[in-house]
Each structure stands twice: as structure tokens, then as C-alpha cells.
Structure 1
């Protein structure tokens, strides 16, 4: 197929429409359950009260704000894929925004701004500061919507669009994007990931910096665990090693999430995960994924150590639960093995390192019994 034909074919799959809608109409759609803003996403966005006030100020002053992208499901419901924070801020100001447990957020109280100092202390229901006619005018202001219409229930175009619109690095980390995708695609998987990352033994084995914690690196390690224990040797051999690790993890997790058959394995996965990290915590505690050098463990959690340990332990858990002292020695010896040294050599691409270490791990932790 030529480039021209490919473009024409893909354009047919993207059914897009655009039109403005008043804030009052949007509020009614939200109240009627016809637009889903994903209240769970609020934990991934970092707008403070000042940023929220500036958005409301822009609307009051008639300053255009970027369009909101939604996916229209086959049942007609709009699923917001970009603009959650803008729309949530507006709905919170109107006093109608609900959390995922169906309780309302506290009303938004605005701050004074350079252009509108009298905004300080204004809230929607305070008619002494925000008059009825001002409320009517606010509800008549227009928001621009771009609507992507799903062709089928399993249409994945909205997930692709979500990633493209949220990969500018302005407000979401790569893992936060994955978290949002999991909520959209397979919420039970997202709930499993959250449950696993709260496991006490896992936390003891993976002490993180404040920055890593803020960017949800603990959940990225859970993603790596789920995927690494699923990948076959043939699969890791065939990976395009020139790709970005962030994109690779996102795309592979998306594939995993879309296969709802995997959900039946969650209970089994939960049990094995807990057993693995109980074993590692009992044996190595916070040193489980730190480099062993000059007779001591040191440094931060190493993703290369995670890749060298988890796949092999996963396949041979029963043996290592009975041989904890030998396990500690095996972990200490990893860092002098030529396979580890070669895979972690400067200049090695992340996916190439991952591929080499997964296969090394399965060999290194194998046993004759």
C-alpha cells in the first residue's frame, strides 16, 4: 500500500467533528451523565487554586481557551480525552463536580488577579460578590469541542489521541499517562496496580526519591513487573531495540489491558506478587535492587537490577523460598557477571538492556531441582 493510500485509509477511520457549546449546556450534559470527565484523573493533575482562577478569569474576560477533545462512544456518551482539568475546574466553579465516590468537590473559591483584583473570595453561590446576571453570562460563554466518534466498541483511536495530546511533557509524566489510560481501558487492572504498589514488602524493597514518588515511579515498576513476567524469550528477541522505553511500556501495557481475558488471572498475580516481594524483603529488604559492590549494597534502586531479578525469581519462586541464603549470594553475584556488565555498558539502549537482562535473569535464577 502506498503512502497516499495509507493516509486515505486512516483518515476514513478518524471521524471528527467540531462545534462550540455553552458552559450551561455542558453543565447539563454532565448532570445528565452524558459526559465523563474521569474524576479519578484529578490525582494526576497538578493545577493549584491560582491556575484554576486564571482559567475562570480567562472565560470572564473572553480570552479563548484551547478546545476540549472528547471521544463519542457508540452509546453517545462523551469521554473527555484532553481538557479534563479545564472542564473539571469549570464544573467545580459551578459547584457540580463530583468525585469518583459520587460526593461533590468543595466549591472553588477564586483568588484576586492582576486584571480582576475583585475576584478574590468569589464563589458561584455568593450572590453578593458574583451577581445573578454575571452567572447567566458565564453560563452563556462558549467552549470549543472537538469530537472523535468511535466506529466500534473496541475502537482504540481515543487512546492514541489521548497519548498524543498528553505527551508534551507539560503536566503528566509517562506513568501518569499510563495510569489515565488504564482507567479508560481497564479499570480493574488499574485498581490491581494500585493495590500491588501499596504492598508493604514492595515498598520496603523499592525506596524511592521524592521526585520518583511524585512521578509515580513505583507504579512504573509495577507495570514493568506485569510485562516482564509475561514476555516470552522469543518476544524480547524480536523487539525493535531502537524504540523509546516509555513508548514501549505504554503500548505494551495498552495491549495487555485491552485483553480482558487477563483479568481472570488477577487473583493469581496478586498472590504471586506478594510472595515474591515477601521473599525479597525477608532476604534483602531495601537492598533488593541496589548494586552490590566492594562488599556492600549502595546507591538507588536500579531498574537494571529489577530486570535482572524479577523475571528469574518469578519462574523459580518455589525453589528460592526454600533457599534464602543462596538467593542473597546469587543477587550479590549478579553485578560481576559478564551478561550484566555487557547489558549495562554505557551507550546500550534501554530496550536492548531490558531484552538482555530478562533472558539473563531467567538463566541466572534457574536451578536443577
Structure 2
């Protein structure tokens, strides 16, 4: 990627790229968060739009034991989603050790939440870190982990500092295995939309799940792997200026949106529930063949390379028409509209746009004064009319610049 760094004539003369606060890796970490002015996709209430039969809601409470849950993990009947990262990051050893200490002290753990899939596998939605920690201490081989050594204990440190499960007396080993846990399980026959709604309502932890985290938790399959691998690609990170954090899966949602509108023509999109549309798209990813996936990946890489070569560090971001120095965060709606449009162009057409990148930038700047376009990339971006508006506007921009 060559990366266009020149800016278009006097109108953009004041647009120096603002320095963003870097994360621990040295990369900027700005990204438009959900429920802010920009990037709002669906109603935050997760309300159910269509009537459903309440009799189909099947939620049961399972009083199980640590040993039984470990048995399910061993036989792959619990999906722990090992790549499921939360904003707080992976628990540190101190947090893990204190959890085991709580069990040894017979302090009850919070309730676990899970959903049952068609194969009767439980997808853990709330309690992943807790259950992973328990497995890491008692049966680390079941999850391919190294044995957990207790440290920084608050009450038992003198006797069990650096202890592993094997170091504990038999009575304490038995106490851990026989510890009772409460799991609220949503059975497989519960409608998917209702299932997502229930978890949104029941998610009472300190950090509510994002919509993509819910999709990731409740929809295991090939689609989940595609999003993970593509989000980890250097082309995605570089084209977005390392500006999309991965810990809340914002990167995976952006890629899902790109794929959703490559599998569904944006101009024919008419779904009044954008979240449901993205779920349907994840199901489509599960059914893709190797060849189809490869073609989409080639289009994805081509589009991101082109965006970087045309816009440079401004790719997928709004710009300040008044000449301010602020560099806006990555915008999800701009990402999908620009990337999908570029994915449909030929190599020759892209080469023309790269050569005429100043003209593209000038047309893009004019869109920043278009009230309808700005609304289409800022609020309620899942509305069908707004989807059509932004995709059409970006298509016309490229055509005008390339003419």
C-alpha cells in the first residue's frame, strides 16, 4: 500500500492529521463506540419487533456442580470461546487465584448464563472467565492450558501460595469438584431473536456485552472463525490506522458488515432490524464454501488496499470541512460503504482513483456538507433508506472522480 498523504487544494490545507492517544502497543485506539452520536445501528433496548409465542421461551435453571461442568468441557459440550476478549482483558493470575480462593472458602459464585444449540452444546455467555479459570486450575488439560498456580491469596496465602490443584489436600480437591453452580440455560427451541433479547436483558455484569460479543457467543461456526482471522490480518489493521480496538469485537463487527453487504446488495436491503440482518449474514458465512470465502477475502484485501492508497490515514473517517485538525475515529458505516464499493471495482478502475485521489478527496469533502449523507453514517445506520443513501453517494463519488 502506498498511502496517499497529499490533501486536496486549499479547502483541505488545514487538515493536519491529529495525534491520537496510543495504546500500550503504540497504535492509536480510537473507534466510534456504539450508543454515541456516530455509529448507532439498532435500538439499544433490543426490543422484539414481531409477535412471538411466549410458550416457545424455554429457560431452565440447572443446579450443577463444578465436576459436571468439567465433564461437559472434556467432551466438548460447553463452548468456552477461548478467543472471547472483554474490555478488561484476560484475567490476571491474582483474579484467577482469588476466584479459586472463594470456592475454597465456600463463597457462592454469581449465576452463569448459557444457551443450548441444536447439538445440545452449551454456549457460555456470562461466566466464561470464571469457568475457564476453574478448568485451568482443576483440569488444565481439558482446555489446553498450563496448570494455574495460586498466588496473592487474601486469606489462604500462607498455606497455599504457589499451590496447584494437585498440591491441595484431598478434602479441598473434593470440595472444589462438588461445588454447586447455578446455570440459567436458554433451551434450543427458543426463537433466536428472543434468545438475543433475553441475554441483553439478563446481562447484569459490570460490563454489558456488545451486540457482536452476543453474536459471537451465541452463533458458533465457520463465520466466527472468518471474522477472527480477517480482523487479525495486517491489511485490516494498517488500512484502519490501527484505530479499531479488538477487545469488544468492534473490528469483527466491521468486517461482518462488509461481508453482509457483499452477500446482500445494499440497494435491495430492506430489513427493518439491522441486528437480525447481521445475524442472518453470520449464518450465511457458516454456509460458504472454500472458493466463495477465498473470493470474498481477495475482494476484501483489494478494497482495503485501495482505500489506503486513495485516502491514506483518512480512510474510513469523517473529515472536518471547516479545516479543524481533529482526526475522527473510524466510522463503521463509512467503512462498509467505501470498502464494499471498492470491492466491486476492477483493478484498472482502482488505479484511476488512486491516480486521481485529490479529486476523490474533494468529492468526499463535499459529502461532509450533505445533511442526508451525514445522517446516513451517524445515526440509525441500519435504516434501509440510510443504507441506500450512503452506498449510492459513495458509488457516485467514485464514478465522478474516475470519470
Q: Does the alignment reach a TM-score above 0.5?
A: yes
1:279 maps to: 306
2:237 corresponds to which residue? 203
Larger mean CA deviation between 252-261 and 55-64 belongs to 252-261
Change in Cα spacing, 1:262 to 1:224, as seen in structure 2 (3 Å) is same
Query: 1:223 touches 1:253 (CA, 8 Å); kept in 2?
Result: yes
Q: TM-score, normalised by structure 2?
A: 0.70
1:51 paired residue among 90, 95, 98: 95
1:122 equivalent in structure 2 = 163
Do structure 1's residue 133 and structure 2's residue 163 form an aligned pair?
no
The superposition leaves residues 86-107 of structure 1 with CA deviations (integer Å, 9 ceiling, x where unpaired) of 21111111033544xxxx2111
For structure 2, the 5+ residue unaligned runs are 1-49
Which of the pair is proportionally richer in helix? 1
Give CA deviations for 1:111-134 in whole Å, capped at 9, x if unaligned: 2333333343222012xxx21111
Give matches, 1:78-89, under 5 Å: 78-89=122-133
Pairwise CA distance, 1:360 = 1.1
Q: TM-score, normalised by structure 1?
A: 0.76
Higher relative contact order (CA 8 A, sep 6+): 2
1:212 alignment partner, SS class? coil
Q: 1-side partners of 2:204 and 2:211: how far apart?
A: 8
Q: Distance in 2 between matches of 1:78 and 1:179?
A: 13
The answer to whether the Cα contact below 8 Å between 2:231 and 2:251 also exists between their aligned partners in 1 is yes
Compared with structure 1, are the counterparts of its residues 146 and 337 closer, same or farther at alpha carbon in structure 2 (3 Å cutoff)? closer
**Does residue 15 of structure 1 match 2:58?**
yes
2:283 aligned with 1:253? no
SS in 2 for 1:62: coil
Structure 1 residue 306, shift from structure 2 partner = 3.0
Measure how far apart 1:174 and its partner are: 4.5
- Deviations 1:271-319 (CA, angstroms, capped at 9, x unpaired): 1111122223334433333437589996144416435533432333445
How far, CA to CA, are the matches of 2:259 and 2:206 in structure 1? 25
Write out per-residue CA displacement over residues 152-193 of structure 1, whole angstroms, 9 at most, x where no aligned residue: 9x9665555445444866164444444434xx343x222222
In the TM superposition, 1:57-96 aligns within 5 A as: 57-96=101-140
Q: Report the Cα distance in structure 2 between the residues aligned to 1:307 and 1:33, rounded to whole angstroms.
A: 36
Query: Secondary structure of 1:17's match?
Result: strand
Residue ranges of structure 1 left out of the alignment (5+ in a row):
1-5, 241-247
Aligned-partner SS, 2:335? helix
CA RMSD of aligned residues (A): 3.7
In structure 2, the CA distance between the partners of 1:15 and 1:259, relative to structure 1 (3 Å rule), is: same
Partner of 2:84: 41
- Give the corresponding residue for 2:74: 31
> Aligned to 2:217, which of 180, 191, 204?
180
Report the 3-state secondary structure (helix = DSSP H, G, I; strand = E; otherwise coil) of the residue aligned with 1:259: helix
Indicate which of 298, 312, 315 corresponds to 2:341. Answer: 312
- Alignment partner of 1:289: what SS? coil
The answer on whether the counterparts of 2:257 and 2:278 sit within 8 Å (CA) in structure 1 is no
Tell me how many residue pairs correspond in the alignment: 342
Mapped pair 1:107 → 2:107 = no
Stretch deviating more after TM superposition (73-82 or 84-93):
73-82
Matched, 1:220 2:253: yes
| Distance of aligned partners of 1:75 and 1:336 in 2 relative to their CA distance in 1, 3 Å threshold | closer
